[in-house]
Amino acid sequence: MRIETDIKLDYQDVLLKPKRSKLSSRKEVLMEREFKFPHSGLKFNTLPIMASNMDGVGTFAMAKVLQKRKMLTVIRKHYSIDDWKKAFKNDLDHQYISVCTGINQMWEEDAIDFNTLKKVLDEFPEIPFITIDVANGYHQNFVDFIKQVRDSFPYKTIIAGNVITAEMTEELILNGVDIVKCGIGPGSVCTTRLMTGVGIPQLSGMIECADAAHGVGGLVIADGGCVYPGDVAKAFGAGSDFVMLGGMLAGHDESEGTVKDGQIEFYGMSSDTAMSIHGSEKAGYRSSEGKLVTLQHRGSVEDTLVEIIGGVRSACTYIGAKRIKDMPKCSTFVRVNQQVNTVFDN
Ligand code: 5GP
């Protein structure tokens, strides 16, 4: 047994220090970034905030709004191939879409589930991104699966996770991942930290993973734990190349959920609710690591996007970052005595 005694921080434990800046308006901030992915070689211009592959978030309706701002959506796993066909007939843009898979079904020749990664990519080979999503990315069979996907799709950009330490971030990139999805337990409807005691505070975790990824030519996504636009700014300041959002994008018209009395349900993908909706069996040895919450329905996601992007833009002007790309080098974090969210909520 060993104890690491250095302090690890979450978004609410810090603030960004304001600095002198030559920017005179928020409009001057360049919110888009041009990436060249290390394995696929794809050049991609994007506003690097993306929608998570969750029910209520990674929907086709969400993607159609996000693509207008060059933002990526990781489409949730449970659409049928007919749903995909319909969506592409209705103005969905391939460029800003990632198909998503776990690591179980894809290579089964006789998989009865039509919505497998391979089948979607056979039908729509223009989709540039593949996301391989598991709750715990520390298994050897996860790495083996990634290698298989990389061999089969050398020109696709592979996003994979989740992990939250340097050595596993490097391991994934060295085995074919372009962008590592980072975060164990910070999610708004996640109960992993409570159920297992496992996790790393997200801000410190991102600083470690970004440093590791950039050292071997890869990129990282900060996945989970953003509650306010300021958290998104802090995630970029910590070195994250992308920020993935679940809860902040949930509860809108684009969530494709049922609105009842002005409320809409949102649940973790490992929750009992998700398992019963998608008919996945909960084995006797497994506990649920997600929860169900009820959110106030918030109308179209457009207004929320304006708030989020406006917040990050404004953060850039406070710290003197002309481009979102410059945020890490312009960021000095100060620790706060009281959790920032507590201050906001009062
Ligand atoms: P949020 O932006 O809501 O804070 O976090 C979104 C992220 O939480 C997702 O992208 C995913 O990585 C994670 N997540 C979603 N559902 C669950 C769940 O049921 N359990 C856990 N442990 N994490 C989840």
Using one digit for the tens of pLDDT, what is the confidence trace for 188-215? 999 999 999 999 999 999 999 999 999 9
For the four alpha carbons of 302, 126, 142 and 175, in that order, the dihedral sign comes to: negative
330 pLDDT higher than 50: yes
| Gap from CA of 33 to ligand 1 centroid (Å) | 25
Residue 340 lies in a domain: no
Closest by CA position to 133, among listed 108, 157, 158: 158
Range of the domain at 29: 11-335
Domain assignment of residue 343, yes or no: no
Q: Tell whether 2 is covered by a domain.
A: no
What is the reported pLDDT for 200? 97
| pLDDT higher than 70, residue 245 | yes
Taking residues 135-158, report their average pLDDT. Answer: 93
Domains in the chain, number: 1
What is the pLDDT confidence band of residue 343, given thresholds at 50, 70 and 90? low
Q: Where are the alpha helices (H) located in 96-178, listed in sequence order?
A: 117-123, 140-152, 166-174
161 lines ligand 1 (CB under 6 A): no
Q: Is 245 a pocket residue for ligand 1 (Cβ < 6 Å)?
A: yes
Q: What is the reported pLDDT for 204? A: 98
Is residue 18 one of the residues assigned to a domain? yes
Region 76-96 average pLDDT = 92
- pLDDT value at position 287? 77
For the chain, percent of residues with pLDDT exceeding 70: 92
| Atom number in ligand 1 closest to CA 290 | 19
CB atoms within 10 A of CB 26: 17
As a whole number of angstroms, the distance between CA 184 and CA 193 comes to 8
Q: What is the pLDDT of residues 265-306, one digit of tens each?
A: 999 999 999 988 887 666 666 678 999 999 999 999 999 999
CATH of the domain at 136: 3.20.20.70
pLDDT number for residue 171: 98
Q: Which residues contact 30 (CB under 8 A, 6 or more apart)?
A: 322, 323, 324, 325
Q: Pick from 49, 52, 193 the residue to mutate for probing ligand 1's pocket: most ligand atoms within 8 Å of its CB.
A: 52
pLDDT digits (tens, 9 = 90+) for 10-49: 999 999 999 988 888 888 999 999 999 999 999 999 999 9
Residue 144 lies in a domain: yes
- Residue of 157, 145, 162, 147 lying closest to 103 (CA atoms): 145
Asked, for residue 346, whether it belongs to a domain, the answer is no
Across all residues in the chain, what is the average pLDDT?
92
Q: Is 190 a catalytic residue?
A: yes
Cβ proximity of 157 and 130 under 8 Å: yes
Atom of ligand 1 at shortest range from CA of 224 = 5
Q: Is residue 4 part of a domain?
A: no
Q: What is the pLDDT of residue 307?
A: 98
For the cut 60, the answer to whether the pLDDT of residue 149 exceeds it is yes
Q: Is 247 in the pocket of ligand 1 (CB under 6 A)?
A: yes
Q: Whose CA is nearest to atom 10 of ligand 1?
A: 52
Ligand 1 binding pocket includes 38 (Cβ within 6 Å): no
Mean predicted confidence (pLDDT) in 316-321 = 96
The reported pTM is 0.95
pLDDT at residue 236 tops 80: yes
- The catalytically annotated residue of 182, 190, 209, 330 is 190
